[in-house]
Amino acid sequence: MILRHMLNQSTDLNRLFHALADPARRAMVERLSRGPAPVSELARPLPMSLPAAMQHLDVLEAAGLVRSEKVGRVRTCAIEPQALSQAERWINARRTEWEHRLDRLGEYLKTLESEGDGDGSDE
């Protein structure tokens, strides 16, 4: 099952980053980071109809960023913290990769320097 998890990770990240690529959806996530809220409260500040806001909410739920539960006639939405951390991990992995690379490059340049090779060009 961990194998399946890895295979689907790409799709997960697609949905995740896609969900975050819209300002209305990010606004919803920002609001929910401060606590749960019903659909109408998420929709109110947005410059669009209620159904449009609902569709954004669907995208957030499909991405696993938001979970919601309906009690009576009001659906209360809450953020799903671990979803964002997957995106964070991907970004961090990239950063450590290029940082290591730059470290190695720095070492290499230092080596050249101490060998007295006079080509000091960079880039």
Question: For binding to DNA (CB under 7 A), which residues are involved?
Answer: 18, 21-22, 24, 38-40, 43, 47-52, 54-56, 59, 70-75
Burial of 77 (0-12, 13-18, 19+ CB in 10 A): buried
Across the chain, where does the E strand assignment appear?
37-38, 66-71, 74-79
Position 108 contacts a copy of itself (CB under 8 A): no
When CB distances are held under 5 to 8 angstroms depending on the partner's kind, the choice from DNA, a copy of itself, none that residue 97 binds is a copy of itself
Site for a copy of itself in 37-76 (CB under 8 A): none
Residue 16: DSSP 8-state: H
Position 121 contacts a copy of itself (CB under 8 A): no
When CB distances are held under 5 to 8 angstroms depending on the partner's kind, the choice from DNA, a copy of itself, none that residue 67 binds is none
Inter-residue contact 27 to 52 (CB < 8 Å): no
Position 14 contacts a copy of itself (CB under 8 A): yes
User: Residue 17: how many CB atoms within 10 A of its CB?
Assistant: 13
Residue 23: strand pairing partners: none
Q: Footprint of a copy of itself on this chain (CB under 8 A)?
A: 10, 13-14, 16-18, 20-23, 26, 29-30, 33-35, 79, 81, 84-85, 87-88, 90-92, 94-95, 97-98, 101
